[in-house]
Amino acid sequence: MGLGERIKNQFPALSITLLSVLIALFFSDLVAAAHSRMTLWPLNVDTLRTWGQIVAMGACALASWVFLAHIGISRLRIPTLDDSIVVFLTPVALLIGNSFVGLEEFWPWLYYASFYLAMSAGTMAMQIRMASRERELASFGRLARPFGPILVLTVGIPFYAAAAWADSRAMLSPEVELLLAISPTPAALVFLHLFVRDWHRAIAQAQASEANSQPPPGAGIG
């Protein structure tokens, strides 16, 4: 096995391992922040809002890990600088988000949510574009359909930005803030469902194309 093949074979496992370590660091930081500075009891609208933020951050981390891991194991290539940046970008952004959880003012977290979704949409588009450039993964282009999983991200960007603007002007009630804190969790689950579904379809399409490109048994024997 040549050097290029060794790099191609080892990089997916290395990148997913590094990504998993960084996501674990994010969860560790979130738990530490919850213990040190967040008020989680007794349950009322404010503490439930904090719980909602905590669960939402965890759901977003899970969605990010699933997306990057599934794309990563699908590709067999020599890594580029973009691949290395993406592995660090998402966990670092999530770590930054922990500093906005549980604050008295809610609107900074909403602005962060809008920023994070914009960054995630850009990362998703870049990863899918790089994957679909590979001949075997041309079917991955379906993952970037406007009404596919990326729709969850693109709808959320202006939604949370508008909510942050309204909340910064004291236009939202505590109950509405609670609903906004909870909303990223079902959105992340919808994203996961749509992405995994389309990923399986893309893999099936790639396998079918590969099978059709193979010569039939016995071809060329005469």
The string of pLDDT tens digits covering residues 130-184 is 888 888 888 998 898 989 999 999 999 999 999 999 999 999 999 999 999 999 9
For residue 20, being part of any structural domain is answered with yes
Phi then psi dihedrals of residue 185, to 5 deg: -65, -55
Residue ranges making up the domain that contains 70: 3-208
pLDDT at residue number 222: 46
pLDDT at residue number 166: 98
pLDDT at residue number 2: 74
For residue 120, being part of any structural domain is answered with yes
For residue 58, being part of any structural domain is answered with yes
For residue 214, being part of any structural domain is answered with no
User: Which ranges of the chain would DSSP assign to H, the alpha helix?
Assistant: 3-37, 45-74, 81-98, 107-132, 150-168, 174-182, 184-213
For residue 27, being part of any structural domain is answered with yes
In the block, residue with structure tokens 């005469």: 222
For residue 217, being part of any structural domain is answered with no
**In the predicted model, what is the mean pLDDT of the chain?**
90
6, burial (CB in 10 Å: exposed 0-12, middle 13-18, buried 19+): exposed
Give the predicted TM-score (pTM) of the model: 0.90
For residue 215, being part of any structural domain is answered with no
pLDDT at residue number 97: 97
pLDDT at residue number 131: 86
pLDDT at residue number 136: 84
Residues of the chain with pLDDT under 70: 1, 214-222
For residue 138, being part of any structural domain is answered with yes
Name the domain count of the chain: 1
195 neighbors 67 (Cβ within 8 angstroms): yes
